[in-house]
Amino acid sequence: MDISWKSGEVAGIFDKARGIPEYILTEVFAEVFDRTGFAGKRCNVLDAGCGTGRISFPLAKKFPNLRIRGVDVSGQMLGLLEQKIEKSGIQNYEIEKASLLELNEPPGSYDFSIVSSVLHTITDWKTAVDNIVNATGGYLVLVSETSGMYRLVLNRQKYGEGLMDRFWGEYSRLRKKYSLPGVESTQVGIKWQLGCPEVLEYLKTGGLLESRFELSRRWATEFTVDDLVEIVEKKAYSHMFTVDDVAYGHVVSDLKGWLKKEKIPNLGRVSTNKDIKVEVVKLAVRG
Ligand SMILES: C[S@@+](CC[C@H](N)C(=O)[O-])C[C@H]1O[C@@H](n2cnc3c(N)ncnc32)[C@H](O)[C@@H]1O
């Protein structure tokens, strides 16, 4: 089963739950363009599985020399991106609704192809990578991220003192109570790991990796308890919407009941660290 990000609710919560500050993205990509000799030069960029344009929309605004094409299967995610593009008036971003499994671009069309948080939602991720590589003449830019918040969801054994730990601990307990599968087992495609080691290995094995470098950044962000409830209710992470809706509804309502019982204020604030890693792979010339 592949995960289709079709729910309008997921699209609506995505940027809020998974936001990356624009200065982080533009700083990191300025360094990518510098180190690859593309700074200020006109270049074609594919954002493969672009979603709401969380990664590439800020780049289109900051670097007018880029010609970006965002490809995604989800009309809801693309709808939000379209609104952002129209509102900003930028002219260097094109959208296409298509599957990466059927991507059929002339070989070497792009100087850079960005792949961010998408291969873990595609069972046959290797075919998607093959298609993206084929369309790319220059560099593959693999963006991965993780946050303290996400690690807490993954680590069901961790019940700390902090509000964030307690919230996700209760969420995990309730998932178990309603016999929902573990977070990891509901992921398809590659494992969620900082640095995309599985993709790098696949490229190496296929003789596609000529050279690489990596960049990373960390920042802190804050959520209110209300935000966390919205993240759970609107299913901001893929493991939240691959499960049975009825049982998940019970998890959400019990979680709200628990917050009341524990007298946890809606506006209580929690902070978490977020990490982003950008692997820049110069693709080997193919015959
Ligand atoms: C977690 S979102 C990431 C979006 C964006 N890359 C980012 O980092 O913000 C995953 C995206 O992959 C898209 N996706 C999943 N399978 C796809 C496929 N086969 N072809 C194109 N897009 C796909 C989904 O529609 C969704 O928008």
Q: Tell me, what's the pLDDT at 218?
A: 94
Q: Which atom of ligand 1 is nearest to the CA of 78?
A: 27
Side-chain half-sphere of 53: how many Cα atoms within 13 Å? 27
What is the CA(99)–ligand 1 centre distance, in A? 9
Q: Candidates 121, 129, 146, 235: which one to mutate for ligand 1, based on the most atoms within 8 Å of Cβ?
A: 121
Nearest CA to ligand 1 atom 10: 118
For 83-89, the CB contacts below 8 A with 24+ separation are: 84/52, 84/53, 84/57, 85/53, 85/57, 85/60, 88/57, 88/61
Averaged pLDDT of the chain: 89
How close are the terminal C-alpha atoms of the chain, in Å?
34
Residues of the chain with pLDDT under 70: 1-9, 154-161, 184-187, 287
Q: Tell me, what's the pLDDT at 142?
A: 98
Q: Tell me, what's the pLDDT at 198?
A: 94
Q: Tell me, what's the pLDDT at 269?
A: 81
Q: Tell me, what's the pLDDT at 267?
A: 79
Q: Tell me, what's the pLDDT at 2?
A: 47
Contact 63, 34 (CB under 8 A): no
DSSP 123: T
Q: Tell me, what's the pLDDT at 1?
A: 41
Q: Which atom of ligand 1 is nearest to the CA of 128?
A: 19
* pLDDT single digits (tens) 44-61: 999 999 999 999 999 999
* pLDDT single digits (tens) 99-155: 999 998 999 999 999 999 899 888 899 999 999 999 999 999 999 998 777 777 766
Q: Tell me, what's the pLDDT at 181?
A: 81
Q: Is 45 helix (H, G, I), strand (E, B) or coil?
A: strand
What is the CA(274)–ligand 1 centre distance, in A? 20
Whole-number Å distance between alpha carbons of 95 and 151: 32
